[in-house]
């Protein structure tokens, strides 16, 4: 390989990022060009650094990996994103690939070869952790009928954010967020926030915060 594959690491735990960096720097075909501690920083660095691959934690405060993926792919559609997750359920895997990621790896799967996965997605192929598969998208649910923006708003709603907070995070007006909120509730046939949370858990839209790294 003439030029190494450039990689951006995204995780809210600095020790985890350092561990991944050490792992990747042992491979001459890979070059870590930056680190981000959260979703908003990842969006900015992806635009500034233009890495070929982003290794992204799923569960992060403020903006999770799926939300960050959606924003990044709007600005840098050519980048390949790998999600690192504690969740092996089909709903999480399906949501990730629906958002546009190319890889999904489990954090507790020690047999996973991260450098190999990075090379696979950089070459345009998809990669999932051993034992997982990309769920079939042949059957369309009410959730699939939502626009990507409505899915983003839904994720923020179930994380307890107000319309004003969501507007600030997504760069929208409060009125626009209100319209998205009304549209998605009508599409899902759900009219209470508590019921939205139950729905989001069932669909794998809620990620619990990970314990601090010791």
CA quadruple 138, 140, 146, 152: dihedral, nearest 10: -60
> Within 63-188, where are the H helices?
65-75, 90-99, 114-122, 148-158, 163-170, 174-188
Task: Report pTM.
Answer: 0.73
**Do the Cβ atoms of 127 and 10 come closer than 8 Å?**
no
Q: How confident is the model at residue 140 (pLDDT cuts 50, 70, 90)?
A: low
Tokens of residue 168, six digits: 């600030």
Question: What average pLDDT does range 103-129 have in this prediction?
Answer: 86
> For all residues of the chain together, what is the average pLDDT?
86
pLDDT at 154 over 60: yes
Q: Of the given ranges (95-99, 184-188, 202-206), which has the lowest mean pLDDT? A: 202-206
Tell me what pLDDT residue 46 has: 96
pLDDT of the residue at 98? 86
What's the pLDDT at 94? 86
Domains of the chain are 5-128 (3.40.50.2300), 143-202 (1.10.10.10)
DSSP state of 211: P
Q: Is the pLDDT of residue 139 over 70?
A: no
pLDDT given at position 48: 95
């Amino acid at each position: 390989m003439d030029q190494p594959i450039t990689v951006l690491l995204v995780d809210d735990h600095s020790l985890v990022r350092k561990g991944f960096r050490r792992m990747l720097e042992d491979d001459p075909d890979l070059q870590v060009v930056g680190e981000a501690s959260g979703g908003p920083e990842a969006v900015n660095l992806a635009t500034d650094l233009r890495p070929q691959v982003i290794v992204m934690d799923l569960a992060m405060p403020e903006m999770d990996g799926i939300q960050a993926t959606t924003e990044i792919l709007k600005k840098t559609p050519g980048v390949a994103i790998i999600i690192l997750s504690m969740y092996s359920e089909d709903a999480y895997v399906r949501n990730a690939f629906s958002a546009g990621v190319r890889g999904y790896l489990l954090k507790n799967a020690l047999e996973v070869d991260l450098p190999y996965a990075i090379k696979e997605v950089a070459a345009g192929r998809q990669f999932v952790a051993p034992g997982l598969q990309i769920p079939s998208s042949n059957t369309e649910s009410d959730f699939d009928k939502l626009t990507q923006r409505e899915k983003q708003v839904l994720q923020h709603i179930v994380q307890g954010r107000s319309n004003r907070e969501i507007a600030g995070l997504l760069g929208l007006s409060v009125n626009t967020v209100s319209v998205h909120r009304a549209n998605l509730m009508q599409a899902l046939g759900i009219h209470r926030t508590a019921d939205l949370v139950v729905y989001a858990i069932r669909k794998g839209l809620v990620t619990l915060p990970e314990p601090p790294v010791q």
